[in-house]
Amino acid sequence: MTIRFLLRSWVAASVLWVSAWEAQATDITGAGSTFVYPVCAKWAEGFRVATQNSLNYQSIGSGGGIKQVKAKVVDFGATDKPLTREELNRSSLVQWPLVVGGVVPVINVEGIAPGQMKLDGPVLADIYLGKIKRWNDPAIQALNKGLNLPARDIVVVSRTDGSGTTFIFTNYLSKVSAEWKNKVGSDTAVRWPTGINGKGNEGVASYVRQQAGGIGYVEYAYALQNKMSHVQMKNHEGQFVEPDIKTFSAAASNANWKPENGFYEVLTDEPGKNSWPITGATFVLMQKVQENPEHAKTALRFFEWAYKNGQKAALSLDYVPLPDDVARLIEAQWKMELKDSAGKALY
């Protein structure tokens, strides 16, 4: 009887413990950047296993993420276009970097293997301006001596949605082409001079695969996962480089993260002979004053977990994790700026 009683007591206590644990588990929500989605999904899986807390992340583009966090629809937003300190103050937001990666031009040109074609910034800008219309154009041929380029029309593919990937791409084009800067500019959404438009990385990739002669731009992890054909790019130092973790890291090494300006940093056309020229970071946005502090605390635990335990997953997808010293700056910022409605620090 005593053994049965103890067993029943142990089972009851176990059920109560499990129920209490489940009650403490929190489902957090985020939305925004498609650029960061692959690694965010990987981190969410590991975080759920480690803590029983889940993350529902909507890959809707940076513009959508900014709108949703401002409207307090989600616990955090993610954007590849950092907000200025003035924009952050105006909306009472806190911003910090999450991870660094690359945007890559992808092509569908018969007879050209991945990484075989070389482009530079001015030529890429002229393609997207509609000035270079065929793959055997002399300007492309001059960069690819010995490569048999077809006399096929170029089908330009771009994004329709508000996208941080578009911001990184057009920010680069604005730095390497005065004509692009004056006529089109740089933003999460622009008026494209030519071509067809898809929604998200998925839409761009789909059109490029379907259209013989297509060219588009996607984040690198997406290009890898979908076995898309990328190009080499000529960087700021005049060197042709492949997109990979080493060239993204080389560009990121020039970053000067400053909490006082909201960690604002754009990593396109960075110096360094090994730097990939179309590199960018994804930034997290949260409300300074949290009406749901438990959700906010769980979100911060997710990011803390990612900085400490997610490096391997990030590297496996060719993202560059932030250095430990930058993560410590970010955590110090959380302590200073994130509060509940009573003014108590959340971290």
Determine the Cα–Cα distance for residues 1 and 164; give it in Å rounded to an integer: 66
- Give residue 201's pLDDT: 85
Determine the Cα–Cα distance for residues 72 and 86; give it in Å rounded to an integer: 19
The reply to whether domains 27-101+278-340 and 103-246 share a CATH topology is yes
Q: What is the pLDDT of residues 82-127, one digit of tens each?
A: 999 999 999 999 999 999 999 999 999 999 999 999 999 999 999 9
Determine the Cα–Cα distance for residues 175 and 77; give it in Å rounded to an integer: 27
Determine the Cα–Cα distance for residues 265 and 135; give it in Å rounded to an integer: 34
**Would you say the pTM of this structure is higher than 0.95?**
no
Q: What is the pLDDT of residues 188-224, one digit of tens each?
A: 999 999 999 998 888 999 999 999 999 999 999 888 8
Alpha carbon distance, N-terminus to C-terminus of the chain: 49
pLDDT over 90, % of the chain: 85
Determine the CATH number of domain 103-246.
3.40.190.10
Q: Where are the domains of the chain?
A: 27-101+278-340, 103-246
CATH homologous superfamily for 27-101+278-340?
Answer: Periplasmic binding protein-like II (3.40.190.10)
Phi, psi of 258 (to 5 degrees): -125, 115
Average pLDDT on 326-340 reads: 96
Phi, psi of 118 (to 5 degrees): -115, 135
Q: How far is CA 317 from CA 68, 100, 153, 216, 271, in A?
A: 27, 11, 33, 20, 24
State the alpha helices, DSSP H only, in 119-269: 121-129, 138-143, 164-176, 178-183, 200-210, 220-225, 245-252
Specify burial of residue 151 (Cβ count, 10 A radius: 0-12, 13-18, 19+): exposed
